Amino acid sequence: MVVTPRVTFCCTDTKTQPWLDGLRAALPNATVELWSPGAGPADYAVVWAPPQRFFDEQVALKGIFNTGAGVDALMKLRMPSNVPVVRLDDAGMSVQMAEYVCHAVIRHFREFDAYEADMQGGKWSYRKPRLRGDFPVGVMGLGVLGERVSRALAQFDFPVLGWSRSPKTVKGVRCFSGEAGFTDFLAATRVLVCLLPLTPDTEGILRRDTLAQLLPGAYVINVARGGHLIDDDLMALIASGHVAGATLDVFRTEPLPAAHPFWQHPQITLTPHTSARTLREESIAQIAGKILALHNGAPIASLAGVVDLKKGY
């Protein structure tokens, strides 16, 4: 007898109908429904920042599929410990992230921000070319996104360093790992890119004592989560001259409050959490494929993007 999988969709801040239509087209033999309080039990859940009630009610789940790469919102909830959680492992986000970070690094290195300000002020000027060897770029986090970003930066002949919790090997990247390698990583870095998952261990990792270990004239790029950065510490180090500036795409409160000093800071470039957007068609195809694999008996270890709930990523 063929068992029809039941899929429930619960994603906040998302246009639901295109997702439902896409999932139904990709899973024609499944029942795909929008979750509402009191809904019947489902086999699989497709979620983004669901309420606690969702997990309290959906006690028959066999798999939870997150519509993003970061699962920090899920980690705040009480979830069933025996149900696998699977995040997006790429779905078109890594190339977007590589574009964004390379743009931010090159804009700072080539001083295009200063040239733009000069031109807006009617000033025609030149600056002495900088040497790439003086701008080693350190990437914190060497998962799918971090590895793609690191390899892209290396194509522009920047010295590229990478740091991760466990040892990694990336061609063209000088890799560090663990607490023992963290200090050496920071000391060798001038442009710092944060691509870490947000966990209790990485909360506030971009703070005064870590950023102060970077090479003088450092530059900070945060495209991970706003919770990684201590805002006041960054501004203090910019004021001191140790940090030259920052490009920030993520913030502790989003949208960024109107009164926040980042808005008017001349050395901080802001974007509205847009460094790597979820591409719906690619994401639906990936999630549907994993649901079918799991439903047809594939071992959970064979799926890409399975989350270790103890680590939080």
Residues forming the active site? 225, 273
Compute CA distances 127 → 109, 186, 222, whole Å: 11, 28, 27
Q: CA 212 to CA 208: how far, in whole Å?
A: 6
For the chain, count helices (H), then strands (E): 10, 12
Peptide bond into 216 cis (omega under 30): no
Nearest CA among 50, 48, 51, 58 for reference residue 87: 48
Q: What is the DSSP letter of 249?
A: -
Q: Partners of 206 in the beta sheet?
A: 229
- Token output for 271: 């974007």
Rounded Cα gap, residues 211 and 34, in angstroms = 44
Pairing of strands 218-222, 137-140: unpaired
Assign 95 to helix, strand or coil. helix
On whether the CB atoms of residues 183 and 209 are closer than 8 A, the answer is no
Sign of CA dihedral 60, 197, 12, 288: negative
Are the CB atoms for 261 and 234 separated by under 8 Å?
no
> What would the two tokens of residue 166 be?
């466990």
Instruction: Give the span between the Cα atoms of 181 and 26, in whole angstroms.
Output: 44
